[in-house]
Amino acid sequence: MRIRHDGSLTENIDYYVRGGSGRSYNNQRNFNLAYIEPGIEYKLGHHWAWTVAFRQINSIDVTDGQRVRKIITGPSFDFDKNNELEFRYSKSNGDKDLKSFVFEYVHKFQTD
């Protein structure tokens, strides 16, 4: 489960704060986790934007070895107000040192 709050700082700069919690199931050990992620999005044009975010992840059931700090950055392309492609690079450190590239489709459900 996660929630997200969006807002605008200027005409070209938006911000968001996202948080979530869940359960990780894997073949090493299962654990409960929570995260908080503040981010900034700079609009490069009508369809393109660049995002920079920081995510702090931690186990919430005292499982050792699950504290990770993650920097996330990359472009996104908006097809319309509800459909988007994101291309992200993330680098994590802390209890785990990881690097990844993510390509994902996002569909936003609006409650206007």
- In our burial notation (b when 16+ CB lie closer than 10 A, e otherwise), range 11-35 reads eeebeeebbeeeeeeeeeeebebeb
77-107 pLDDT, tens digit each: 999 989 999 999 999 998 888 899 999 998 8
* Domains delineated in the chain: 2-107 (2.40.160.20)
26-85 pLDDT, tens digit each: 777 788 889 999 999 999 999 999 999 999 988 888 777 678 899 999 999 999 989 999
Q: Which residues have CB under 8 Å from 67's CB, separation 6+?
A: 57, 58, 59, 94, 95
pLDDT band, residue 112 (cuts 50/70/90): low
pLDDT of residue 31: 82
Give the whole-angstrom CA distance, residue 49 versus residue 77.
Answer: 7
pLDDT of residue 85: 97
- Asked if residues 74 and 86 have their Cβ atoms less than 8 Å apart, the reply is yes
pLDDT of residue 1: 82
- Asked if residues 7 and 15 have their Cβ atoms less than 8 Å apart, the reply is yes
pLDDT of residue 27: 74
